[in-house]
């Protein structure tokens, strides 16, 4: 086979595999807002009340995690 044909077929199959893996992984998580490149979701934080905005998006209470007696890095 011509090397160009092999390259095109390989790229096409790689693209199909990538699209298939992205679609199959989306069903496990609830939908969320679409983040912007580099900025992420920083624009959704209210500048006037940062602590309340961060509390609204937090995963859980830090006290619940302290019972495992492991080190936790909190940003």
| pLDDT of the residue at 25 | 57
Per residue, what are the HEC states of the chain? CCHHHHHHHHHHHHHHHHHHHHHHHHHHCCCCCCCECCCECHHHCCCCCHHHHHHHHCCCCHHHHHHHCCCCCCC
Res 38: pLDDT: 75
What is the pTM assigned to this prediction?
0.33
Q: Give the model confidence (pLDDT) of 14-42 as tens digits.
A: 998 888 777 665 556 666 677 777 777 77
Return the domain boundaries, the chain: 1-26
pLDDT tens-digit map of 40-70: 777 778 889 888 887 776 665 555 555 555 5
pLDDT interval class at 8 (50, 70, 90): very high
pLDDT value of residue 1: 75
Q: Which two tokens stand for residue 38?
A: 């580099």
């Amino acid at each position: 086979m011509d090397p160009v044909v092999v390259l095109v077929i390989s790229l096409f199959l790689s693209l199909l595999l990538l699209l298939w893996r992205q679609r199959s992984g989306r069903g496990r998580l609830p939908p969320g807002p679409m983040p912007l490149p580099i900025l992420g979701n920083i624009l959704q934080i209210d500048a006037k009340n940062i602590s309340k905005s961060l509390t609204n998006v937090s995963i859980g209470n830090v006290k619940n995690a302290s019972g495992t007696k492991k080190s936790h890095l909190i940003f």
